[in-house]
Amino acid sequence: MGRQAFSRPPLELTAAILPVNNKVTYKCLIGGSLALALVALSLIPAGRVGLVGPAILGCLILLAIGVRGFEAVRRFSYTVWILAAVAASMFYPHCFTAVGSFEPGILIAPLLQVAMFGIGSKMSPKDFAGIVRMPRSLIIGVCAQFMIMPLAAFAISQAFIFPPGIAMGVILIGCVPGGPASNVMSYIARANLPLSVAIGLIATLLSPVLTPALMRLLAGQYIAIDVWGMMLYSLNMIVLPIVAGFIFNLFYSARDVAGSKAIQLGTYFVIIALTCLAEMVSDGCGIAGFLLSLLKSACWFCFGPIVFSVIMRIIFRGDRRITDSFLSFLPMAGIALIITIVTATVRDSLLSVGALLLLTGLFLNSAGYALGYTVAWLFRAPEKDRRAIALAVGMQNAGLATQIGKAAAAGVASAVFGPLMNITGSALAGWWRRKGRREPAVF
């Protein structure tokens, strides 16, 4: 499907700096990482806690670069980068919560859009045609999303003794839809990327109805979700960035004739205009507000990708392989930066929880992966679909759960689950990617 089968592994900045076959260099980096880990351990009993942060960060950064030199573990490099991002947030939260008068939190939405733009550049509209014609895996994925995780979360919350607010937060994590990070992990895992996007989109659109109903049934508390707000979130954070990726591909490639490009671009522009119209109805901003919103969205999602495609074609001299590698780097970097900012914001909550809540999050996360994959296997879904469903089920939208439960202790569980699911998800995706090298390409 699309270009996914022909794209190279995600671009790593280290690949341009260190020769891939220089094993000695990579061994030295790993040795330096181990040395810094020992330094960090020795600093704690010595009472020099202020130096522990730099030592741990240096350890993880050197390890993330060093493992790139060894085929057996190089796919776990992204997982180590995620660990480094979490460590940076925990040791230096002030660097990611406020820089003078600037609040990095406002970058979360643009970073998510950039990540989904990178995902969209790996697909084409034709990739979704097969899902429409044969929606079995999509139905399995959406049903598993709202059946497996809510029941697993309820069972785990009953098995452990938590205060009511924390228990409700665990159930809330299970009842929200899957998060956009699962799309990035599906790409890394060589899963069915269009299926992953479709499951996330449909589940998000259904969540204003299903999430409150499930919370009332399992937690005994009704949580209202704004239907219009969720629809606009889906359009602005998922649909339009993917459309922008389609537009980038349309103008980067010279294959389509001018008439075909005009028709496709016109269709994409209509989608952008309809989204702005929905915002006008929701906000009641009138025609002037609609036109202003349309101008902003057209610049960001339509004209921006066109200009970007020209720039990329000039910089990389039309080499699609290098361009694909760069575009693969965008969603990975975007998710890592989002994790850094979000983790820094909830750092105090993370420090206040015990090991039991961390263990609970790991159980719930692992149950989602295992049960999601098993259900897809039982229905004889293809291997690529099983991976996409497992990641979509196991990786929930922790940001949405945090926003819903932020006024109560329920948000603490969401704060734990967010960083944890990206660590486990990237590790599972890296393992699947390496395993997938022995399998024939499907996309």
pLDDT at 13 over 70: no
Hey, is 102 helix, strand or coil?
A: strand
- HSE at residue 282, side-chain half, CA atoms within 13 A, is 15
SS3 percent helix, strand, coil of the chain, rounded to 5, is 80, 0, 20
pLDDT at 305 over 90: yes
- Look at 435 and 154; give whichever has higher pLDDT: 154
pLDDT tens digits for range 19-78: 445 788 899 999 999 999 999 999 877 777 788 889 999 999 999 999 988 888 888 899
Rounded to whole angstroms, the Cα distance separating 330 from 324 reads 10
pLDDT tens digits for range 392-409: 999 988 777 777 765 555
Name the token pair of 265.
């671009």
pLDDT at 126 over 90: no
pLDDT of residue 9: 45
Any idea of the CA torsion for 61, 65, 70, 74, to the nearest 10 degrees? 80
pLDDT of residue 384: 94
Q: Tell me the CA distances in angstroms from 223 to 143, 209, 226, 273, 411, one per residue in order.
A: 21, 10, 10, 31, 13
Cα 332 from chain centroid (whole Å):
8
Which one-letter DSSP state was computed for residue 160?
A: S
Most confident option among 193-197, 261-265, 322-326, 408-412: 193-197
pLDDT of residue 16: 44
Cα 250 from chain centroid (whole Å):
24
Residue-level length of the chain: 443
pLDDT tens digits for range 214-250: 988 888 877 777 788 888 888 898 999 999 999 998 8
Rounded to whole angstroms, the Cα distance separating 308 from 52 reads 41
The whole-number average pLDDT for the span 106-130 is 89
Name the token pair of 166.
């924390």
- Look at 374 and 286; give whichever has higher pLDDT: 374
Q: Which fold, 104-436? A: Na+/H+ antiporter like fold (1.20.1530)
Rounded to whole angstroms, the Cα distance separating 280 from 273 reads 10
Say if CB 232 and CB 278 are below 8 A apart: yes
Say if CB 239 and CB 272 are below 8 A apart: no
- Lowest-pLDDT range of 85-99, 190-204, 211-225, 364-378: 211-225
pLDDT bracket for residue 439 (50, 70, 90):
very low
pLDDT tens digits for range 16-25: 444 445 788 8
pLDDT of residue 360: 87
**Taking every pair of C-alpha atoms in the chain, what is the biggest distance, in angstroms?**
71
pLDDT of residue 21: 52
pLDDT of residue 285: 81
pLDDT of residue 410: 59
Name the token pair of 41.
């351990």
- Look at 1 and 150; give whichever has higher pLDDT: 150
pLDDT tens digits for range 327-341: 888 899 998 998 898
Domain regions of the chain by residue span: 104-436
Q: For the chain, what is the mean pLDDT?
A: 84
| AA identity, residue 215 | M
> CA angle at residue 243 from 239 to 247, to 5 degrees?
170
